[in-house]
Amino acid sequence: MKSLVFIMDPLESVNPIKDTGFDLMRAAYQLDYRIVFIPMGGVSKWNDQIRFSGNIVVPSDSDLENPFIIGDSVEISDAEITAIFIRKEPPFNSTYLTLTWLLDHVSIPVINSPSGLRTVNEKLWCSQFTSIVPPTLFTRYKADFQLFLDEHKTVVVKPLNGFGGSQVFIVNQGDTNQQVIFESVTNNGSEEAIVQTYLPDSKNGDKRVLLLDGEPLGAVLRVHSNTDHRNNMFAGGTTEPAVVTESDLYIISILKPHLLALGLRFVGIDIIGDKLIEVNITSPTCLQEMSRFNKEDLAVKVIKEIMNV
């Protein structure tokens, strides 16, 4: 039987009405693949063989309280697997890094490529494309931060390896708490922060575009609540329909050859106005929302494209 492995956070943490990993599992099951859930730590190397320890699962969107039927425990080798999906949420830590090293030894498709995952920091990597990103500073030094703030007057400060909208601050020149914010985000100068000039278009939301093999699947606009400036869904943001514009396509055209060369097949990019903010490769989301807005099962499209069926 054709088997797809999904390496994910614990199943009880999955929200079946939002989670993209769940949606991909459901679509794959509908296409007659056996679904194998592997927790972090469930991958081993025995001599020249990679082994996976987990459970067979049946995803179901008919019971939102119990979205998985958890079956037998299994131990399978890479020779028994058709493809592997890494859907582990950030942070990218030592456990995640070890996983990518282990998966370097398999010869089947891994979505996304282990070497690509190691190469691309979701905030830092895209800063090389200076024509399509806002003015950006990466630093742990207060003096650098102060000079950048003095130049741009209003900036956004966030951790280099943050996710889900955690510790994202808007700072204005002259704010009395500006140094405290920078100390907090950099863990008292022991870690880098990303500082970007504030984009007024962020008041209207930020656009998430999902890419499959460098081509857009669709887009949604993530909009903040009335009590928070952050558009992230983890921070209470909501989604609205959006279209992929000519400006978005220009950004995509610049990124596509680099993403393909790195084996990054399923990617989410975040755009504010006409500027690229982040490239999400570890566990890009919003596939379910796009499917509902587009009235198309995009998860099935992803599985078919990746499996070449």
Catalytic residue among 34, 158, 207, 265: 158
pLDDT tens digits, residue range 5-25? 999 999 999 999 999 999 999
Verify whether residue 280 is a known catalytic residue. Answer: yes
- Domain layout of the chain by residue ranges: 3-111, 136-194, 201-295
Catalytic residue among 208, 231, 265, 289: 208
Query: Which has the closest alpha carbon to 164: 291, 25, 285?
Result: 285
pLDDT tens digits, residue range 85-116? 999 988 889 999 999 999 999 999 999 999 99
Verify whether residue 118 is a known catalytic residue. Answer: no
Catalytic residue among 34, 222, 265, 275: 222
Query: Which has the closest alpha carbon to 306: 257, 264, 255?
Result: 264
> Which residues on adjacent β-strands are paired with residue 49?
46
Helical (H) or strand (E) element with 57:
strand 49-59
39: number of Cβ within 10 Å:
15
Dihedral sign from CA coordinates of 163, 164, 167, 173: positive
pLDDT tens digits, residue range 26-39? 999 999 999 999 99
For residue 110, the model assigns a pLDDT of 97
Are 228 and 236 contacting, i.e. CB atoms less than 8 angstroms apart?
A: yes
Catalytic residue among 78, 122, 192, 270: 270
Task: Tell me the average pLDDT across 190-219.
Answer: 95
Q: Is the whole-model pTM more than 0.85?
A: yes
Helical (H) or strand (E) element with 119:
helix 114-119
Four-way CATH pick for 3-111: 3.40.50.20, 2.40.50.100, 3.50.30.30, 3.50.50.60: 3.40.50.20
Beta strands in 143-183 (DSSP E): 154-159, 169-172
Assigned architecture for domain 201-295: 2-Layer Sandwich (3.30)
For residue 235, the model assigns a pLDDT of 46
For residue 65, the model assigns a pLDDT of 86
Backbone φ, ψ for residue 128 (5° rounding): -70, -20
Residue 137 pLDDT greater than 70, yes or no? yes
CATH number given to 136-194: 3.30.1490.20
pLDDT tens digits, residue range 248-298? 999 999 999 999 999 999 999 999 999 999 999 999 999 999 999 999 999
Cα–Cα distance for residue pair 171/150, rounded to 1 Å = 11
Verify whether residue 230 is a known catalytic residue. Answer: yes
Are 81 and 5 contacting, i.e. CB atoms less than 8 angstroms apart?
A: yes
Catalytic residue among 34, 87, 88, 230: 230
Verify whether residue 213 is a known catalytic residue. Answer: no
> Which residues on adjacent β-strands are paired with residue 272?
275
Verify whether residue 208 is a known catalytic residue. Answer: yes
Are 125 and 279 contacting, i.e. CB atoms less than 8 angstroms apart?
A: yes
Catalytic residue among 123, 207, 265, 275: 123
Verify whether residue 26 is a known catalytic residue. Answer: no
Verify whether residue 191 is a known catalytic residue. Answer: no
Catalytic residue among 192, 248, 278, 289: 278
